[in-house]
Each structure stands twice: as C-alpha cells, then as structure tokens.
Chain A
C-alpha cells in the first residue's frame, strides 16, 4: 500500500515537472486579470460613493474588458502549444493502432484533466496572491470586515476560475470537433506542420487580411467623432489581430523583400512563420501596451490637465454647511426647507423663493404652481428639464403638479456635498407655507455652537477638500501601479513564450551550437528575434494608443502643449524601459541555452 502510494506520488511529481512550463505560463497568464479584478473590487469598496468613482469605474471596466480578451488569447495559445507538444506522441499512438476509445481516455487524462487541474490550482493560488497584494496596497479602511474580504475573494476566484474552465472546455471541444471527421493520424501528424498553409479553404486565406483592412478603415472613420473613439480603440485591436494572423499578408510582405532576407534567416527565420505561430501572443503584447497608453494614460492625462488647478472656492463657496431638524433661536440666518420626491423617485430639497433670494442675493419671481429646478451635481451630469413642461412632486401625503419655469446647474451650497442637497426646487412662499411638513433648517455657520444636536448634518470644506485630494491621489497611484504592472506583464508574456517554446528553441540553438555559432552572434540573433516578436508590437501598441488618446483629447479639451509633451516623453521612457527589459530576458535565456559540452 505504502509503496503504491509512493510510486504514485513520484509519478505525479514527474508529471508536474514535465508540466511546469505550462503551469508557470498559466500563472503568468491569469495574474494580470486576477490582480486588476481584485484591485477593482477592493478599490470599489474603499471609494467614496459620491466622488469620481464613476470615472474610475469606466477606466477599470475598459481595462478589464481588454484584459479578458488578452487572457482568452493567451490561454488558447498555451493550450494550443500544449497540444502541439503532445501531438507527435498521439500520432504515433494512432500509427501503432490505438482504439479510439482508449485514445479519448488518454487525451482526457493528458490534456483535459491536467490542464483543468493545473488551471484551477494556479487560478486559486494566483488569486490568493494577487488578492493579498491588492489588499495590502489598497485596503485603507481600518476596520476589516472579514465577511467582506471573503466575499471579494470568492467573487474574484470564482470569476477567474469560471473563465478558465470555460476556455479549457472550448478548446477541448474544438480539438474534438476537428478530429471527428478527419482521419486521426492525419490530424495529429499535421498539427505541427500545417502552420504555414493552414487553410484548405482558399476563401479564409484572403478573408482575414481583408477584414483587418476594413476594420482599420472603420477605425479611421470612428476617429472622426470623439464619441465613437472608444469603438475605434476596440476595433483597432481586433484589426491588428486579423492583420497579424493572416499569413497571406505577411507572405506578401516577406516575398517583396526576399533579397534582404538573407541575414535574417536565423534571427527571424521567416518572420511570417513566427508571426503566424505567435499571432495571439503578439496581439496580447500589443494589447497590453495599448491599454497602458490608451486607458491608463488617458486617466493620468485627465488627472494632469483637469484637477491640478481646480478652484475649490468656486466649487465650495461656504466653509460650513449645516442642516438638521433642530429649530434655531439664534441670530444667525437660517434657511428652512423640506423634502419631496419626483416621479422617478429622486429626492429633492424644496426651498422657498425668499430663501433663494437671500442666498443668491438676486431678485427672482415665481408664481404659484411654478417651480425652478436646480441641480448641484457635477456639471457634466446635468440634464436640463427643458423638454418637460410639468413635474409631479410627491410630498409627505399629497402630490401636486408644477410647471417648470426654468432649470439650471448652479452652485448654491457646494457641489456634491450631500445626497439630500443634490436636486433643489424653488417654489413660491405661500406655496411653501402650505405644503411644508417636517421642516429642516440649513445655515452656513461655525458648527461648534450647535454640535450638541444629534440630528445635525455637518459638512466642512477643509475636511472635504482634504478627503478629495486623498481620494484622487489614491486613484492615480492605483492607476500608476496597475500601468507598471501591465508593462511588467508584457515582459512576463515574452518570458512565457520562451518557456512554452522552450523545446523547439532549444533544438535550434543546439544545432547552431554544433555549426559553430559564436556567443556574440547567438545573443544577437536571439535579441533580434525578441525585438521582432515582442518589441515591434509593443511600439505599435504604444503609438496607436497614444495617437487615439491624443485625438480624443484634442476633441474634448483642445491641445495643451505641456501636458502632451509630458505624456509623449512618458511613453518614450516606458518604451525604452521595455527595450531594456527585453534585453534582460535575452540575457536570462542565454543562460538557459548555454550549452555544456555533451548536451547535444
């Protein structure tokens, strides 16, 4: 019994070592999505409800969508290469005459079960790690609610595992489907060979680059209007994928410069072969650098151009805004108001016109059954009620129809200071007297005098501004770190490619070693390959991302020289850093491919 157990463990361990490359690449693939997802879930919990959270939510949403596409592509790539490694063995099994039923069992055990097991194990571990990282970085609230933490953790793990399992099922299904109607031996024999002439169907051969070019034209059209620029961004990525993965296009390119091809035989050994083989990976590298420059760069850019010189004194005209049900017998001016509801359920604060005149220090006339609607939310979100002639307001017990005299965005007490004071209605004095129930008072005074009351709502400008600044620095540091992380992930993916293709690359460098390649040449060729496969798409992604973003900003806010120069410099610096990173990967891999004599 004990012996059997031991041998089983040994067997599992040996299997694990064999599959280590795949395991590590799974981890590298899942990590970014998991990290950003956890950051998002935690940050969403930490963020203040009223301010800026919508902006950050859209940024996160875009990053997550892009990352999800990326994850799918990488996983398909990993699973594909996993199958390709095993293909010779399977074709041999069929040549030796295995029964189909037996083969399905082997395939299930070899591919499906192991990838599922490794996938879920790596998803769970990596989600735990990234969750810990994210919570150390982003959890600011002092009281940690354990239930909350567990909830977030399980949501994150659940989503990641679900995506992974789904993808494994889909790829297994694809393999099953393809191998159903074909002769098994042919299928497994050709899986490694037919990379260059993949399509039997000539139509598909040409349709891919055509789709890519049409999508590219659509991107240009979408760029003309700033509202559709986000569609342009997504389309750009898709068209890049189609163009890169279409062999025909690349073959055409490589045929046109066949003469210069001579020196590049080793390094790019037919660039198109590499591009075809790694098209999914290349798109992901492109995607990552695109996300960094377009989405995160966009956030940083808006942060730089918008919030730096925001005038808090315009936004918040009073140091204190206090309101509550307590009546006042003080000589300080106070403004009575009461609450109502609109048909849609929006809470409105109703003031009399005399209070409004006192606050704004201007004359205003309003007759009975008329009202003035004022919104104090952010100006971008204000929708005038011009098309609505009438507004039904529900009071405590009764309801009443009013004619909308005017609607405007105006700061009375301060932008966004409380949800109760977001929407304000001004009505006639007599109307106010007759409808008012549960009157509250509002005044702009030093709070200390009144603080004994429990039902007092106090808002202070100094505190609010400090909180707002805190929040915005929190968000921008979040974005900076996620950006840096995504850049690192780009490097990780290149490393992953090296791991997945370890066997073929090793074979090639063994041969070159036999043929007497010098150390310097070896490094040169290797780096040239990485430059073409990894750095070129990185540059392309950065450039297209930056271009789209700058077009977007040009439409929205006009050109602001210093911000753009800073942004461009940042992009260039990042590219240089990535270049250095790829060089480091080359050095690392050179260590791995360093041949001891007698390895061949």
Chain B
C-alpha cells in the first residue's frame, strides 16, 4: 500500500545577493515524482548538496515545498490543519538529523525523553522505554551526561534514541551512521531491520554503498 505519494515536488531557495543586488533563485529539487510503500526500506543516495536533506525535511513536515505536493496516506501535508501537522510530526515521524539537534542544557536522558513528554506518556512507561533504548545502543553509562560531554558518535546514538522512543511509523534518517565505526554501524542497521520487521517504513540518506545492500530500493538523486 502506498504510504507517501510525491508529485511534481520542487523546492527553490531565494536569497538576496548583496553584491549583485538581486534575488537569487536556486532550485534544489525540481519536479520530483515518487511513491513510497508501507513497510519499505529506502536508501537515498546522491552527491553532496543535491538536496537529500531538503527532501527528507519536506517529507517530515518541517520544510514547505515551493511547488507540488506530498501526500501521506492520502492526506496532503502542508495543506491540512496545523493541529494535524503537529500530530503527524509527533506521532508518525522519527527524525534523525545530520547535525543531531540535541539541547545542550539538559542531560542525555532528558533529551531522549522529550518526545514522550510531548506525547503525554506516563513517567514509568517513558523511563522504561528510554532505559531499554539506551541499553540497546550502548550509551547507558552516559545517561546523565550533557550533550557537550559526548563524542560525535555518542551524540548520533542519542539522536537515534530520541527518534525511536515514540515508536513512529516512519523513520527519516539523515546519515545516521556517518560518525560511527563499523561495529556500531552494523548495530544500528540491525536495529533498523528489526524495526522494519514491525511493519515500519525507513527512509535513509547515506553515502555508504554497504548500507544500500540492505535496502529494498535505492533512489539516486
């Protein structure tokens, strides 16, 4: 069954060029058509700067496209009510960012708990889930550390924990293994495959050809 339908999607960034005193329009994505089925593992590959992150953001409901539309289960994103969009971001999506986006002023544990709090989950349930995830990804000892005290790979794993804790339907991962050694890369791939077995959809951006082997489909941008 189709989960995402992307039709004639395009995105252009406007910026003001100070030197030439005129508007610059750069098209990052132009007239893209795409369908993604439920329970699919998709890899997106492409040169740097081609617009992979931009596409992922548009799918995740945080970047408005300049043309075309994104349909999620026959609901057109960016055209529906704001409440629905909030719910979509909160319940359906788990986003792993390239630059982690962790809050420096709270601990790892609290960073991971945020989505659960926003979802109104009970404390015991949330703490349980958090403990399991942290154990799974091998950052149990770092639970009470602050993000600035972590290494890049550890931060990445924290970001993955945060994306997984709400048990989302779709996981949008922007180079989730970019900073990890081969052991941890494999670990995360195993986790992702396990997740996929639970009827979830995974959309993953990567430069690693090895990972593409696990994917159901590879999209070249």
Which residues in A have some Cβ–Cβ distance to B below 8 Å?
A: 192-193, 196, 259, 262-263, 265-266, 269-270, 273, 504, 507-508, 511-519, 521, 596-598, 600
Let me know if A514 and B89 touch, CB within 8 A: yes
Note all chain B residues with C-beta closer than 8 A to A516.
86-91, 93, 115, 118
- Kindly count the residue-residue contacts between A and B in the assembled complex, taking CB atoms under 8 Å apart: 81
Stretch at the interface among B41-49, B106-114, B150-158, B177-185: B106-114
Contact call A262/B126, Cβ cutoff below 8 A: yes
Determine if B118 and A515 form an interchain contact, defined as CB atoms under 8 angstroms apart.
yes
CA distance A518 to B86 in the complex (A): 6
In the assembly, what is the distance between CA of A273 and CA of B87, in Å? 30
B86 in contact with A265 (CB, 8 Å): no
Q: Give Cα A196 to B126, complex, Å.
A: 26
Q: Which residues of A contact B113 (CB under 8 A)?
A: 262, 265
Chain B min CB distance to A289 (Å): 27
A508 touches B103 (CB 8 A): yes
Q: Would B89 and A511 count as touching, CB distance under 8 A?
A: no
Give the 3 A-B CB pairs with smallest separation, nearest first.
A516-B90, A516-B89, A597-B64
Min C-beta distance of B152 to chain A, whole Å: 16
The SS class assigned to the B binding surface is helix
**Chain B: how many interface residues by the 8 Å CB criterion?**
33
The residue from B63, B89, B91, B114 contacting A266, defined by CB atoms under 8 A apart: B114
The one of B62, B82, B123 in contact with A519, judged by C-beta atoms closer than 8 angstroms, is B82
Contacts of A597 in B (CB 8 A): 62-64, 78
CB-CB contacts of B112-124 with A at 8 A, as 1s and 0s?
Answer: 0111011000010
What are 27 A-B contacts defined by CB distance under 8 Å? A196-B146, A262-B113, A263-B117, A265-B106, A266-B114, A266-B117, A269-B105, A269-B110, A270-B106, A270-B110, A512-B114, A514-B60, A514-B89, A514-B95, A515-B89, A515-B90, A515-B115, A515-B118, A516-B91, A516-B93, A516-B118, A518-B118, A521-B118, A597-B63, A597-B64, A598-B64, A600-B63
* Nearest residue, chain B, Cβ from A264: B117
Q: Which of B106-150 contact A (CB under 8 A)?
A: 106-107, 110, 113-115, 117-118, 123, 126-127, 146, 148
User: Residue B101 at the A interface, CB < 8 A?
Assistant: yes
Q: Across the interface, which residues of B come within 8 angstroms of A507, CB to CB?
A: 103
B200 CB-CB contact with A under 8 Å:
no
Q: For the complex, what is the distance from the CA of A539 to the CA of B78, rounded to whole Å?
A: 44
A596 to B104, CA, bound (A): 24
Compute how far the CA of A488 lies from the CA of B205 in the bound complex, rounded to whole angstroms: 52
Pair A519/B86 contact, Cβ less than 8 Å: yes
Report if A262-B117 is in contact (Cβ < 8 Å); known contacts: A514-B62, A514-B89, A515-B90: yes
A507 vs B101: C-alpha distance when bound (angstroms): 9
Highest count of chain B CB atoms <10 Å: which of A193, A262, A269, A512: A262
Which residues in A have their C-beta under 8 angstroms from that of B60? Answer: 514
* Distance (whole angstroms) from the CB of B79 to the closest CB of chain A: 11
Contact across chains for B62 and A265 when beta carbons are under 8 A apart: no
Cα A518 to Cα B89 with chains together (Å): 10
Minimum CB–CB distance for B209 against chain A, Å: 29
> B20 an interface residue at 8 Å Cβ cutoff?
no
Given A598-B63, A600-B62, A270 and B118 contact (CB-CB distance below 8 Å): no
